[in-house]
Structure formats: structure tokens, C-alpha cells
Structure 1
Amino acid sequence: MSALLEVSGVSVTFDGFRAINNLSIAIGEPELRAVIGPNGAGKTTFMDIVTGKTRPDEGRVLWGEASLSLLGMSESAIARAGIGRKFQKPTVFEDQTVRENLAMALRNKRGPFDVLFYKTNRQARARIAELADEIGLSDALPRRAGDLSHGQKQWLEIGMLLAQDPRLLLVDEPAAGMTPAEREHTTELLTRAAKTRAVVVIEHDMEFIRRLNCKVTVLHEGSVLAEGSLDHVTQNQQVIDVYLGR
């Protein structure tokens, strides 16, 4: 499996604090990867660098078969290149229906008039139905997004990202605030999505990570401390000392 995303020797300093320190991570396609670590380990900054929100002081971030450098690209260009990101707090259009949210997210022309006068054609309607089925919201299509539960809003936002057909999906703490049943559905949703693309999940919940049953990267002080299966990394004495022992 060749790397879809290759982060190599990346460092970034904020006001004298080294948030990322010579970080190297490679993500394949398809792959499901969990990234864990204590607060301040650099997990969010890693995502910020990949999505163009933060520029590193040094290192390389290469994307796709052509090893395209992401470092000179804008956030919107990186999104168009196939990298989708879901933040911890769901951001959906609360006053629009689930169907309308998914319709707006589909990859279409994005001019102001195109969005204003957008009418869903048969192909788009079929894709919306498919996405709703995938995220488990088929019955909720006519519902206003603001009336959904916290977990359902999270799924809708994942569906909106999937509508753009990203090759890499970055997901920040998806299990936070969910009921056990919602967490189970979220596990299924992410593992299914990772069969056809790369999915990177940042999470603190060890039980949730165990259910994902994937390779785990442990970050500490901005670099990789350990990598492997959850059982492998949780038996690592350094990981126990800096993270699990807290």
C-alpha cells in the first residue's frame, strides 16, 4: 500500500512552544487510522497542517500519486484536492432539512447563482438517498437539521463530507457526547467509509478506538511516540507513562 498522505520531518513553533516536533506519519489508501495522545500532543495541529490552516516551519507534506506538496496550497485548494475535515462540534445548516444539507454538499458548480438556483436532478437525488442510507438518516431526510440529536448531526456532517467524495477524511473526536448506540453506529460508519478511502480519527475514548480495530499512532510533544495495534501501543511503557497512567 503506497502512501496517500506523507508527512515528513514537520515542525511548527507557536510563540516559542514547539507544537509539532519533527513529525513523520504516512497514511495509506484505503486505511483507517486512529491518532491518540495527551492534550497538547499536537493532534489538532497535525490536522491543521494537513488542511493548510497552519504552515509548518520545516518539513514536507506530500499528497497523492504525484506527491503534490500541500504546503503552498490554500485551504480551499486542499479541500478540492480531496481532503475533508470534520471538527469536534458539528456544523450543519440547522434551519435546512437533512436532504437540503446533503444537496448543498454535493460536488457541483459553486458560483453564487448555482447555489441559489440549485435544483436536484435525478442523479443528485439518487446520491442523496445513497448518502442518507450510508449515514443512517434515510428516515430523517425531511427533518430540520436543528431538530436532530447530537449524534445524528455528527452523522449528517460526515455525510456532507462524503458527498464531496474526499480521498482522505480527518475526523476529530467523533464519539464525544454520544449515546452508546450512537457510538456503535459511528464506528460502523467510519469503518465502512475507510474501505474505499483513508480515514484518520482523533479520539480520547479507548473503548471507541478498540472498536475501530485499526492501526494507532500515539503522539507526544509533537512527534510519534509509538505506532501499531491498540494492544501493542498500550503495552508500550512510554505510552503508559505519558498518556495512559494519567
Structure 2
Amino acid sequence: MTEAVLDRPAPGDKTAGGDAAPRRRDRRATLLELSGVSVSFDGFRAINNLSFQIGEPELRAVIGPNGAGKTTFMDIVTGKTRPDTGRVTWGERNVSLLKMSESRIAREGIGRKFQKPTVFEAQTVRENLAMALRNPRGPLDVLLHRKSAAGARRIEEVAHEIGLAEHLPRIAGELSHGQKQWLEIGMLLAQDPRLLLVDEPAAGMTPAEREHTTDLLKRLAERHAVVVVEHDMEFVRRLDCKVTVLHEGSVLAEGSLDHVTANPQVIEVYLGR
């Protein structure tokens, strides 16, 4: 039997009284599924008949050699790249992401953090989080936006979650590399995502920052679907989650880290290097 949990309301979901209705979902129900997806660039097949699915909540690590298709995989999910063939479906209603723009996909609840932090370095941590809050984005909405108590509370919640509650007044450019990574994750959280795509979060971090990042991602995966693309095998081991190995645009192996690292093909094409 699956366990039903309450989730935040989808945009526009209302009860008869006008309040947002909580959305129910089955724990670990499939959230995102790619089926038979292929894409080529100038004759090079970057993704080759790829099938992948992740539930909600779930933590998944994606590993593989350079050129395995990891970045293209994330580009397809976020709408940056359109595949030549295949399906990409989302949510309880299995809607197609291939019919949506990048901005619409983001509003659906898919957030992506690139390897290099992209925060507003001249603004404070609080201002960065405030700009990322999920609010109406029309021109008049932006011009007429006013701070609210609910927004302030949400900023405090996110800052506490990512470990930057004591740094809210600081200029983002003064933060360490690891702290900037956490801030960018916080900016994604402020948008209430259901799926987070996180690219090489451990790169350039101190051991203490890496430990904090591991704990943060594992906590987030208790409520969200989280995909972590990473090369650092020790960091992946600390995540203690299911691992998907990509090679030449396809899934080569899948399972626990011990399982995939014992696979002779994985050793040959990836670990042996």
C-alpha cells in the first residue's frame, strides 16, 4: 500500500471557499518519466533511446563519463533542448513537457542548479531569496510588488533550511563558494519546486561544506524529487541513494553505488579511466 501525503496546492487549485486545496499524492509515485528519448546534434547522437523515471520524493545520483549525455538529459527535462523522438511526461496527469516552454516547465515545479553558482552577488542573501519567491511574474505584478509577512516568513524558512539564516544581511558576493551553492539551492526552494536538478554540487567545496551539502540534499529528498549529477564517487556514496549510470546517451546500469561500480561495463567505460 502506498502512503498518501499532503502537498502544496498546484497553481490555480481552489476549493469552493476560495482557499487553495491541498494536493494529495502517493508517496514515491512517478513524477517524471522519459521514454525512448533520442536527440542528435550534427549527426552525433547525444541521447540514445533513453528511458528514466524518478518518483516523489526521491534522491537519485546520475553519473557517467564526459559526453555520456548528463547535461543534455537535464536540458531536455527543462525544455532547453527538444528531443527528436520519445516522450517526457510529468506529474499525476502525465502531461507532456515537450509541449511546454522553458518558463512554463519552471512554473510546473522543475528547478535546475548549474555547476557554477548564479546568484546576484551585489544583493544580500535576503534580497536574493526574495527575488526568487514564487510570485506572479507579469510586468505589473513586478512593478507593484510589495513585501508581505508571508514572504518574509518563507525567506526565513528557506534560509534556515539551507544553513544561511545568520547570513541574511550579508552581500552574496562575500559568501564562500559553498555558501553560494547553498544560496542558489535556496533560490530554487523559494520557487516551491517538486523536482530539483543539481549539477555537480560538491565541486570546489571544502570537506565541511561537502558534508553540509550532503545533509541538505538528503533532507530535501524527504519532500522533493532530487537528481544530483556528480563525478565525485565519495560524495555519491554519502548520498546513499539509487544511482543511474549514463553512457553514450543511454542508461548503462542502475542500482546502489556498490551494484553499479561492480558492473564490468561501468568499470570499463567510466571507473577504469
Partner of 1:163: 190
Out of 78, 84, 99, the position equivalent to 2:105 is 78
Structure-2 separation of matches of 1:111 and 1:77: 13
| Equivalence for 2:77 | 50
Instruction: Select which of 224, 234, 237 maps to 1:210.
Output: 237
Query: Which of 222, 232, 240 is matched with 2:259 structurally?
Result: 232
Tell me the TM-score normalised to structure 2 length. 0.89
Map of 1:118 onto structure 2: 145
Q: Residue in 2 aligned with 1:141?
A: 168
Deviation at 1:207, TM superposition (A): 0.4
- Supply the AA of the counterpart residue of 1:157: E
Question: Aligned equivalents of 2:63 and 2:229: distance in 1?
Answer: 6
Secondary structure of the structure 2 residue equivalent to 1:71:
helix
1:3 CA displacement: 1.1
Shift of 1:92: 0.6
For 1:61, the equivalent position in structure 2 comes to 88
- 1:181 matched to 2:195? The reply is no
Paired residue total: 246
The structure whose RCO (Cα within 8 Å, separation 6+) is larger is 1
Paired with 1:189 and 1:33, the residues of 2 have a C-alpha distance of: 14
The alignment status of 1:95 with 2:137, answered yes or no, reads no
Aligned partners of 2:56, 2:136: CA distance in 1, in Å? 27
Instruction: Name the SS of the counterpart of 2:236 in structure 1.
Output: helix
Q: Deviations over 1:59-114 (max 9, x none)?
A: 00000010000011100000001100001111111111000110111111213343
Matched, 1:23 2:50: yes
Task: Name the CA distance, whole Å, in 1 between partners of 2:141 and 2:119.
Answer: 20
User: How far, CA to CA, are the matches of 1:183 and 1:113 in structure 2?
Assistant: 41
- 1:121 is displaced (CA, Å) by 1.2
Map Cα deviations across residues 30-79 of structure 1 (whole Å, 9 max, x no partner). Answer: 00000000000000000000000000000000000100000111000000
Structure 1 unaligned segments of length 5 or more: list them: none
Cα contact 1:97–1:143 (8 A) shared by 2: yes
Q: Write the distance in 2 (CA, Å) between the matches of 1:44 and 1:60.
A: 18
**1:116 Cα offset (Å):** 4.2
* Whole-angstrom CA distance in 2 between matches of 1:228 and 1:203: 16
Change (3 A) 1:96 1:113: farther
Structure 1 match to 2:5: none
- One-letter amino acid of the counterpart of residue 112, structure 1: P
- Offset, 1:118: 3.3
Query: What secondary structure does 1:59 align onto?
Result: strand
Q: SS state of the match for residue 179, structure 2? A: helix
Residues 104 and 115 in structure 1, CA contact (< 8 A), matched pair in contact too: no
The partner residue of 1:40 within 48, 67, 75 is: 67
Rounded to whole Å, the distance in 1 between the matches of 2:199 and 2:174 is: 22
Amino acid at match of 2:270: Y
TM-score (norm 1): 0.98
Matches within 5 A, 1:2-17: 2-17=29-44
8 Å contact 1:2–1:28 — kept in the other structure?
yes
| 3-state secondary structure, aligned to 1:9 | strand
Q: Alignment partner of 2:252: what SS?
A: strand
- Aligned residue number for residue 132 of structure 2: 105
Instruction: Letter of the 2:201 partner, please give it.
Output: P
CA distance in structure 2 between the partners assigned to 1:176 and 1:100 by the alignment: 25
